[in-house]
Amino acid sequence: MKRALLAFPLALPLALLLAGGAAAEPPQSGFALMAPETQAMQRDDTANPGMLWVQEGEALWAQSGCTGCHGDAPGSMRGAASRYPAWDATRQAPIDLAGRIEQCRVDRQGAAPLEREGEPLLALSAYVAHQSRGLPIDPPEDPRLAPARALGEALFRERRGQLDLSCAQCHDDNAGRRLGGSPIPQGHPTGYPLYRLEWQGLGSLQRRLRNCMAGVRSEPYAYGAPEYVAIEAFLMVRARGLALETPAVRP
């Protein structure tokens, strides 16, 4: 016991040293770049507007019969969001969390499909993802996800739009600098769905990605497109170890 305790502090720096080659800097959530007032709003559940959607999602979870298969979400859904996108054996493709919720409703419950960026699906997604708040992002070691992750990385590095900029040029090369008035975050998907002050509402990661794509004057993909799932699959590997924040608040 005593030896194990002693070995730990020695082993840790060594492990960090060995892992050091992979990533130059430790990943940092966009939370770190926010104004103290916005950080305070996210931290305080009574001030965080995203909690309204989480509550709505809790009600929907019970009403829609999710409990029938999954029981109580705080037990069964803890950790789910940290592992998505995951491999979907039926579709033989990666699926994101909102996609899985839809699949449960439509395929298993025979319910009518929900709109991708509509309030009910946002609320359910926020409620499920909220159960993983504080847990580290932990993408599965699943070789079937490798092609999607590779595609996501290629899309992340591809220059696009009339302004001819790639995600990497802002979020890898210029993170922390100021684009006009806004600090550029590293672009980690830690807080979705999240409440954005500019939106005056809750929005998904896909909505954020569409904003960035439109910002460089490129044509966003349609909601639910496999390209977004691929980008998310890559972003989650890139953000490995960062704590989930759903529902986060962003400017």
Q: Looking at the annotation, which residues are catalytic?
A: 212
235 HSE (CA, 13 A, CB side): 28
* DSSP label at residue 164: T
Residue partners of 224: CB distance under 8 A and separation at least 6:
99, 116, 206
* Listed residue (142, 175, 176, 158) closest to 213, CA to CA: 158
**Does an H or E element contain 75, and which?**
helix 73-76
Select 76 or 169, whichever has its Cβ closest to ligand HEC. Answer: 169
> Smallest distance from the beta carbon of 140 to ligand HEC, in angstroms?
20
Contact indicator for 192, 204 with CB cutoff of 8 Å: yes
Select 216 or 237, whichever has its Cβ closest to ligand HEC. Answer: 216
Does 242 contact ligand HEC by CB under 6 A? no
∠ CA(129), CA(23), CA(126), 5° rounding?
Answer: 10
Q: Which does 156 bind (CB under 5 to 8 A by kind): ligand HEC, other proteins, none?
A: ligand HEC
Binding pattern for the stretch 103-132 against other proteins, x by CB under 8 A and - elsewhere: ------------------------------
Pick out residues in 134-173 that bind ligand HEC (CB under 6 A): 156, 165, 167, 170-171
Contact indicator for 45, 52 with CB cutoff of 8 Å: no
Q: Which does 177 bind (CB under 5 to 8 A by kind): ligand HEC, other proteins, none?
A: other proteins
Among 45, 72, 142, 164, interactor with other proteins by CB under 8 A: 164
Contact indicator for 203, 122 with CB cutoff of 8 Å: yes
Other C-beta atoms closer than 10 Å to the C-beta of 173 total 10
Pick out residues in 207-226 that bind ligand HEC (CB under 6 A): 208-209, 212-213, 215-216
Pick out residues in 4-43 that bind ligand HEC (CB under 6 A): 30
Does 228 contact ligand HEC by CB under 6 A? no
- The amino acid occupying position 194 is L
Does 214 contact other proteins by CB under 8 A? yes
* Listed residue (184, 159, 182, 160) closest to 170, CA to CA: 184
Select 109 or 174, whichever has its Cβ closest to other proteins. Answer: 174
Among 27, 49, 140, 161, interactor with other proteins by CB under 8 A: 161
How far is CA 126 from its chain centroid?
A: 11
Integer-rounded Cα radius of gyration of the chain:
19
Continuous H helices in 85-145: 97-103, 109, 119-130
Q: Which residue is nearest to ligand HEC (CB)?
A: 30
Binding residues for ligand HEC, rule: CB under 6 A, are 30, 156, 165, 167, 170-171, 179, 182, 184-185, 187-189, 191, 208-209, 212-213, 215-216, 231, 250-251
Binding site for other proteins (CB under 8 A): 158-165, 169, 173-174, 177-181, 214, 217-219
